[in-house]
C-alpha cells in the first residue's frame, strides 16, 4: 500500500474532519461491484448488441445509451425496465459500505443507481434522507443522520435516472440543485472519493469550476485508487494521479481492492479511539440496592467519558445505558446542542428485523457494528432473567475479537465479574500494554465503594489515552 500523500496523513486529516462534522464521501460504481453489481459497460452490453455495436469497442458509453434510446424512437421504456430488473434485487452489503455507514458522515454522494448504501445505513440502525430528484432538495428529514444525494437517480425510480447523452446535456437545467449543493459541499467539506474513475461529465464540470474559483488554495480531498497492471497503464496512471493535485485531490494507491477495505478499517479504528461503549444490563425489577449501585456506577462512567473529552456509544438499555447517558449529560452541561450530539452515539436495537435475517444473526450483526465504532468497552453489571446476560458475554467476545480494550467493572457483578475473571486469568491475551495487572485488579470485586470503582475506571481510561 502506498500513496503520494501518505495513508497516515489521510487518517489524521479525515478523522479530524469526522470529529468536526466536516467529512463527506462520494461513492462510485466501483464500490458496488463487490456486491456483484454490473459496471456501466456491463449494464449496456445487451443494448449495444441489440443495435449492432460492441460495448468493448465503445469509449463513449453515454452516447451508446443515447443511440439505444434513439433506436426506439426516443422511448426509455426498455432502458427503465433494464435498470429496474438489474438493480432492484436483494444483495449482501459489502464491508466497505458497512464501514462507511458506521462513520459519522452527514453528507454522502453517489452516482450509483443501486440502493446498497441505503441498505448499509439501515443495517447500522441509522436513518438516511435520500435525495434522488431535484424536488427532493427542497425538503429535509429532521430525524435523518445522513443525507444521501443520488445525483443520477435511483433504481426504484428508473424513469428519472441519468444515463443518456441527452440526460447529461440537460443536467444543469433538470438537476441544477444537485450541482449547487455539491459545489457547496466540495468547498466546505473534506471528501473521500471511492469507486470513482473521475470520468463522469458532471463531476468533471464541478471540479473545473472549483479549480477556477480556488486557484490558489483548493480544499483538500482524498481518493483511493488501485494501481493498474501493465507498464503503459501504470505510467499513464502516475500522470493522472499528479493531475488530480490541481483539484486538491490526493491519491492513496493500493495494489488490490482489499487495500481500500484495509484503509477504511484503519480509519474506523482511528476515529473509534475516543469512543467508549458501555456494555451491560440489569433488570428494572431486580434487587433495589444492587440495581441502585449498578446504575450509580454506570452514571459515573458516563461522567468520566464526558469529562475526558470522549464520545459515548450506547444501545440505550433501561438501567445501564440510560444511567450512562444521564452521567454524560451531567458532564456536558452547558455545552451546545450540536456539541452534545457529536459526543453521544445512541443505537437502540430495532424491533423490525431486516428481511432474510434471523433474530440472532441480526442481534450479533448489530453488536458487531456498534462495538466496531468503539475503542474502549466498559462492562457494567450484566444480569438478565436471574442469570448472567448472554448478550453481554457476546459483546465481550466481539470486542476481544476486534482488538478493543475491555474494562469489566467486576464490582458490579454478573457478566462484568465473569469477564473480569476471564481476563484476569489470561492478562497476556486480554490486557493492553498500557494497563498493568495491578491497575486492572482495582476493578475487582474487593472494590465495593462507588468512588473507588469509578476512580479505578478513570485511572484505566487515562492510561489508555496517555
Residue positions annotated with a catalytic role: 152
- Cβ neighbours of residue 34 under 8 Å, at least 6 residues apart? 94, 95, 96, 257
| Pairing verdict, β 275-281 and 311-314 | parallel
The pairs formed by 352-356 with CB atoms below 8 angstroms and a separation of 24 or more are 354/122, 354/123, 355/90, 356/90
Cell (9 digits) for 50: 441489440
Unique residue bearing C-alpha cell 494497563:
435
Q: Distance between CA 360 and CA 258 in Å, rounded?
A: 29
**191 φ, ψ (degrees, to nearest 5):** -95, 145
| Pairing verdict, β 376-381 and 405-409 | parallel
Cell (9 digits) for 332: 456536558
Phi and psi based region of residue 286 (left: phi greater than 0; alpha: psi -120 to 50; beta: remaining): beta
Angle between helices 201-213 and 176-188 (to 10 degrees): 50
Burial class (CB in 10 A: 0-12, 13-18, 19+), 29: buried
Q: Distance between CA 369 and CA 374 in Å, rounded?
A: 9
Unique residue bearing C-alpha cell 500523500:
5
Q: Distance between CA 155 and CA 161 in Å, rounded?
A: 8
Q: What's the chain's length in residues?
A: 466
- Whether 410 contacts 445, CB under 8 Å: yes
Cell (9 digits) for 426: 489470561
**Residue 89, SS3 per DSSP:** coil
Cell (9 digits) for 334: 452547558
Closest CA to 119 of 54, 35, 19: 35
| Pairing verdict, β 249-254 and 2-3 | antiparallel
Following DSSP, what letter does each residue of 38-82 receive, concatenated?
Answer: PPHHHHHHHHHHHTT--GGG-S-HHHHHHHHHHHTTT--HHHHHH
Q: Distance between CA 36 and CA 266 in Å, rounded?
A: 25
Amino acid at each position: 500500500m502506498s500513496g503520494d500523500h501518505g495513508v497516515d496523513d489521510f487518517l489524521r486529516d479525515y478523522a479530524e474532519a469526522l470529529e468536526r462534522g466536516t467529512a463527506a464521501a462520494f461513492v462510485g460504481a466501483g464500490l458496488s461491484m463487490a456486491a456483484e453489481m454490473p459496471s456501466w459497460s456491463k449494464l449496456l452490453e445487451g443494448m449495444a448488441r441489440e443495435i449492432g455495436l460492441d460495448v468493448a469497442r465503445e469509449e463513449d458509453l453515454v452516447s451508446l445509451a443515447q443511440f439505444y434510446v434513439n433506436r426506439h424512437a426516443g422511448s426509455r421504456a426498455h432502458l427503465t425496465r433494464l435498470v429496474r430488473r438489474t438493480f432492484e434485487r436483494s444483495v449482501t452489503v459489502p464491508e466497505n459500505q458497512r464501514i462507511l455507514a458506521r462513520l459519522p458522515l452527514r453528507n454522502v454522494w453517489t452516482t450509483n443507481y443501486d440502493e446498497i448504501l441505503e441498505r448499509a445505513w439501515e443495517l447500522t440502525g441509522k436513518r438516511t434522507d435520500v435525495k434522488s430528484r431535484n424536488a427532493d432538495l427542497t425538503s429535509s428529514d429532521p430525524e435523518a443522520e445522513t443525507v444521501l444525494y443520488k445525483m443520477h437517480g435511483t433504481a426504484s425510480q428508473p424513469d428519472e435516472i441519468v444515463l443518456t447523452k441527452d440526460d447529461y446535456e440537460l443536467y444543469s437545467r433538470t438537476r441544477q440543485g444537485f450541482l449547487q449543493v455539491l459545489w457547496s459541499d466540495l468547498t466546505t467539506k473534506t471528501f473521500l472519493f471511492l469507486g470513482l474513475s473521475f470520468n463522469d461529465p458532471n463531476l468533471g464540470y464541478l471540479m473545473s469550476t472549483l479549480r477556477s474559483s480556488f486557484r490558489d488554495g483548493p480544499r483538500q480531498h482524498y481518493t483511493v485508487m488501485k494501481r493498474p497492471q501493465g507498464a503503459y497503464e501504470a505510467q499513464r496512471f502516475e500522470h493522472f494521479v499528479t493531475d488530480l493535485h490541481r483539484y486538491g485531490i490526493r491519491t492513496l494507491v493500493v495494489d488490490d481492492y482489499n487495500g481500500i477495505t484495509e484503509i477504511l478499517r484503519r480509519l474506523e479504528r482511528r476515529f473509534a479511539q475516543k469512543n467508549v461503549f458501555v456494555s451491560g444490563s440489569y433488570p428494572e425489577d431486580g434487587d433495589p440496592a444492587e440495581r441502585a449501585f449498578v446504575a450509580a456506577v454506570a452514571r459515573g462512567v458516563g461522567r468520566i467519558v464526558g469529562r475526558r473529552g470522549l464520545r459515548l456509544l450506547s444501545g440505550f438499555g433501561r438501567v445501564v445505558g440510560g444511567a450512562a447517558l444521564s452521567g454524560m449529560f451531567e458532564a456536558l452541561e452547558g455545552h451546545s446542542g450540536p456539541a452534545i450530539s457529536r459526543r453521544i452515539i445512541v443505537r437502540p436495537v430495532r424491533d423490525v428485523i431486516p428481511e432474510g435475517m434471523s433474530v440472532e444473526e441480526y442481534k450479533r450483526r448489530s453488536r458487531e457494528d456498534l462495538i466496531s465504532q468503539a475503542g474502549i468497552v466498559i462492562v457494567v453489571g450484566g444480569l438478565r432473567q436471574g442469570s448472567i446476560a448472554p448478550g453481554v458475554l457476546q459483546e465481550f467476545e466481539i470486542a476481544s475479537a476486534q482488538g478493543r480494550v475491555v474494562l469489566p467493572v467486576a464490582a458490579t457483578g454478573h457478566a462484568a465479574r465473569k469477564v473480569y475473571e476471564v481476563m484476569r486469568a489470561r492478562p497476556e491475551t486480554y490486557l493492553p500494554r498500557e494497563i498493568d495487572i495491578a491497575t486492572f485488579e482495582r476493578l475487582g470485586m474487593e472494590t465495593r465503594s462507588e468512588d473507588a470503582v469509578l476512580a479505578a475506571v478513570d485511572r484505566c481510561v487515562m492510561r489508555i489515552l496517555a
